[in-house]
Amino acid sequence: MISEFPLFVFTTLSGLAAGALVASAAFPTKGESKRAWLFPLCMLVLVGVGALASVTHLGRPQNLTYMLANPTSSLVMEGIFAGLTCIALIADVVLAAKGKAANRIVRIAATVLAVVLMCVQGYAYFTSFGSPAWAAVSVWAFFVLGSIGCGFAAWGLFDGEVSEGAGAKASTVALALACVSFAWEAATFVGAGADASLLIAGVVVSAVGAACAGAKGFATAKLPWVVVVALGVVALCVARWGFYAASIL
């Protein structure tokens, strides 16, 4: 087990949520849904569980006090934006549960906060001394484009229209960008002498996901779209695991 496992959980789950939120903001549900609360609740669970997992990385409780003593640290900033994202998602859930139409402003606010959280995660590793491979511009693309790209198609599980037409095309592009970001990070790792095998595996899986999202057959039925989502999730998990495993053991 790698020592960074809690952070692996945090960045992976919050990344998937960020991608799905971007898709929900870009392709809002048409009309009212009886389970409009389900999507923001699922996103809240992803970000919340991820944030809780990241706290366990600190080890002893007193380390949390030391961390809070430096409010400008990347760990504190991650906690702040994760918390703000959760607050926005809670508001989204409450509004939807009361039978009101999804508040577009609240959803967009949650989306923006989640994307900023991805940027903060990239900054955290860009300025980290954990591995020479991290201190490269590619780490920003890895966390921002990789996360959003792999999580984008998940919105199709909640709104079937995303798996059709423009939504399918957007998912194809999103997964393709994730593939490029993984390839860029893999090249950075190779240049730094680090093991890039799992990152390359992430490239392959995300490329297959992009191909499936762009295939005509996957845009006409919801069950096949689950395959696209699964490929995106697997690609992000494999690439993220390779990022951590090759850097800190």
Helices and strands (H and E) in the chain: how many: 9, 0
| Per-residue tens of pLDDT for the chain, all 249 residues | 456 788 899 999 999 999 999 999 988 876 566 788 899 999 999 999 998 888 775 554 444 554 555 555 667 788 899 999 999 999 999 988 886 655 788 999 999 999 999 999 998 888 876 677 888 899 999 999 999 999 998 988 887 666 667 788 899 999 999 999 999 999 999 998 889 999 999 999 999 999 988 887 655 555 578 889 999 999 999 999 999 887 654
Task: Please report, for residues 47, 49, 52, 177, the alpha-carbon distance to residue 141 in angstroms, rounded to integers and kept in the order given.
Answer: 20, 24, 25, 9
Q: How far apart are CA 23 and CA 171, in angstroms?
A: 8
> Cα torsion at 201, 49, 39, 155 (round to 10°)?
-10
Instruction: Single out the residue of 135, 138, 133 nearest to residue 124, CA to CA.
Output: 135
In CATH, what number does 5-245 get?
A: 1.20.1630.10
CA geometry: angle 224, 218, 242, nearest 5 deg: 70
The pLDDT of residue 159 is: 73
Q: How far apart are CA 28 and CA 42, in angstroms?
A: 16
The pLDDT of residue 66 is: 47
Does the global pTM surpass 0.75? yes
Structure tokens at 29: 């549900």
Q: Name the residue ranges covered by the structural domains of the chain.
A: 5-245
